[in-house]
Amino acid sequence: MSLPVWILFVTVALAAVLSPGPAVLHAITNSMTFGWRRVAFSSLGNILGLLVLSSLAMAGMGALLKTSALLFTLLKLLGAGYLIHLGFRQWRSGASLFSQAETLSAAGHSSNGRIFRKGLMVALTNPKAILFFSALFPQFIRPDRVLAPQFLILTTTFMFLSFSALMSYGLVAHTARAWFADERRGTWFNRASGSVFFLLGIGMLRIKASRG
């Protein structure tokens, strides 16, 4: 995998992991309820779930590459459309994730194992993560190269970025949740992240068009 391709993947992955979703909401809620350090357990569970999903997606892509180059190309185009869809949806969302976490958090106790397992289940049932691996991985896969090394690079990169993002959200929730809970700031955050998704999707479509 070339360095420019990897850098492009990092850009797309960062937009994905920083975008508000179930995993981010879970990390923020745990930080408010149990403290920032215990967010690490839910984050570790989350990246384990991501490893499972990426493995399943890569197995499916391996079979796809052997059967139909056309279907593989269509799947790659679907990835660009998915980014654009996420952009529009994020732009229109007016709810602040920090405000949602305030209503979900409550005083209580939970074991580290339970926090880990919940993080795992959040990842395994997260539609955003499932679609990311199945629709966006093909954007960065070379069909004429061995899949295993590409899978290792993409998956470990995404897991590292996801863990870092969740821990960062947990820290922000612990130190500056009142500032981010403001609805206007939440709206602008949603619009900023939505714009990133939209531009990345348009960029990928233009790349496909130029190659055709």
Tens digits of residue pLDDT in 8-41: 899 988 888 887 777 887 787 778 777 788 889 9
Write the CA distances from 26 to 90, 91, 112, 167, 211, integer angstroms: 18, 21, 14, 11, 40
Q: Mapping DSSP to helix (H, G, I), strand (E, B) and coil, where does residue 173 land?
A: helix
pLDDT digits (tens, 9 = 90+) for 145-204: 887 888 899 999 999 999 999 999 888 877 876 665 566 766 776 677 677 667 766 766
pTM > 0.75: no
